[in-house]
Amino acid sequence: MVREGGVARLSLSGCDAIDCANAAAVKAEALRLLGDVADVVIDLSCVEYLDSAGVGVLVGLFKNARLRGGRARFCGLTPGVRSVLEIIQLDRIFEIYDDVETAVRS
Amino acid sequence: MPKSKLKREAAGNAGETLPDLAELCRIHEIGLDLIERSHDVDELLDRVLDEYESRLKDLPSDALDARSTAPHPASLGKLRGLVMFATQAAALKEKAIVAGELKRRAAMLEAANSRLDGVLAALSSGVMIFSAQGAFLTANVAARELAGAADDTALANLIAHGVPRGGEAEIDVPIAGGGRRTLLVARRAMTGDAGSEVVLVTDVTERNRAVEERVRLEKLAEALKTLSVLSHKINNPLTALLGRAQILQAHKTNDPGVVKAAAVIEEASLRIADLIRELAQVVKDGRQGAVDELLDMSAATPPTTSRR
């Protein structure tokens, strides 16, 4: 994770899939890294697959930022991730940007 | 399973099994709850995210996993329930954002109106606003006080009938304690609001009085200037006339007519000299009352010829 100004950049690299096998661990590690950070840009460009547990992780991170009075912005969506979010309409609920720079500037 | 197929499955094809009736009722109830909360996007999102979390936990892993070749029909049923909820939630979130923006702009407008009301209230000049249709909309306190109108309708009628659109005029209105005041009323088109008018009302009673007083003082100054010139011009020949009359009287002569004529000339000259002195005093004082008094006195004084 990298902090730039008041915004943290969190890259979910190292896991091409977030599913029931690793969702709990990914969420716990992400929350540990974020600590009390409120504004975060989450880079999903390395994630190819999500199942319902993986989507739950994203929802949890989004809620965590809101609870801290900040924003969670997602970027770098691969086709597989975008498709899943579109199916359950989370692309209309989340803040989604094409890339990290755009998300940070927004 | 290909993404496109997963999407079709999630949306549900005709003839396929929908979520059961209890689930449909629950989704309906959630929808009503979301509508209740949609006045505030944050409140709505809190509820939506809780519901997402709850439903995602309940959703079998294979329901959304594109790697899964054949999701269980029960998984698809839950996924369809989630999609039905999500569709409502997403639409309401977008509506809530629009509603929030409208609310924000309405608040800004309200604040701007409050500021304007404050400014209008603080103005000593009266200000009234008329709509494009000529209907009276509002007036500040000063306008009501100046016009002395019992109500807004009377005030509007007073303006509408007394002053042409786009023009200005002075109108007289009664004062509550007696007397009248003069108002200068100007009707002007409002910028940016086609047809609407702003009406400015100013009490010009005192201004008119001041103008009259100024005109009177200017006339007085002119009269005093004339008197000053006159007294100077008359005094020189008068001195010569008086001197000659006194010379005549000093000569020993037995002609009673000459003696009497010299006395009359001297008396008249002295009277004129007195008048000149009074004129000079008036010029020195610069008082209108003294001018009037002098003129009255002059009119009352019999001409010298009548005293012969």
Question: Domain-by-domain residue ranges, chain B?
Answer: 3-112, 123-203, 209-307
Res B90: pLDDT: 92
CB contact under 8 A, A56 and B3: no
Is pLDDT above 90 for A96? yes
CB contact under 8 A, A86 and B7: yes
Q: Among A20, A53, A66, whose Cβ lies nearest the Cβ of B45?
A: A66
DSSP type of residue A12: -
Residue B16: HSE in the Cβ half-sphere, 13 Å Cα cutoff: 13
Q: Count of domains in chain A?
A: 1
What's the pTM? Answer: 0.57
Q: Among A20, A88, A93, whose Cβ lies nearest the Cβ of B82?
A: A88
pLDDT in tens, chain B (308 residues): 555 555 655 555 544 556 678 888 889 999 999 998 888 899 999 999 999 999 999 888 878 876 766 667 777 888 888 999 999 999 999 988 988 888 889 899 888 888 877 776 677 778 888 888 878 888 888 887 777 766 677 777 777 777 888 888 888 887 777 888 888 888 888 877 778 888 888 888 888 888 888 888 888 778 777 877 887 788 778 888 888 877 877 776 778 888 888 888 888 888 888 887 877 777 677 666 666 665 555 444 444 443 33
CB contact under 8 A, B10 and A89: no
Q: Which CATH superfamily is domain B123-203 in?
A: PAS domain (3.30.450.20)
CB contact under 8 A, B61 and A90: no
Res B274: pLDDT: 84
CB contact under 8 A, B63 and A66: no
Number of neighbouring beta carbons within 10 Å of residue A16: 12
Residue A66 is part of a domain; what is its CATH number? 3.30.750.24
* A16 contact residues in B (CB cutoff 8 A): none
Is pLDDT above 70 for A106? yes
What does pLDDT average to over chain A?
92
Give A5→chain B minimum CA distance, Å. 25
Res B279: pLDDT: 75
| Distance (Å, whole) CA B129 – CA B127 | 7
Res B15: pLDDT: 44
Interface contacts A/B by beta carbons within 8 Å: 82
CB contact under 8 A, B10 and A88: yes
* A49 contact residues in B (CB cutoff 8 A): 65-67
- The CATH class given to the B209-307 domain equals mainly alpha
Number of neighbouring beta carbons within 10 Å of residue A89: 22
CB contact under 8 A, B93 and A92: yes
Res B114: pLDDT: 82
Residue in A closest to B42 by C-alpha: A66
Q: Which two tokens stand for residue B98?
A: 């629009």
A61-70 tens-digit pLDDT: 999 999 999 9
Are the beta carbons of B63 and B78 closer than 8 angstroms? Answer: yes
B270 close contact with A: CB closer than 8 A: no
Domain containing A31: what range?
Answer: 2-105
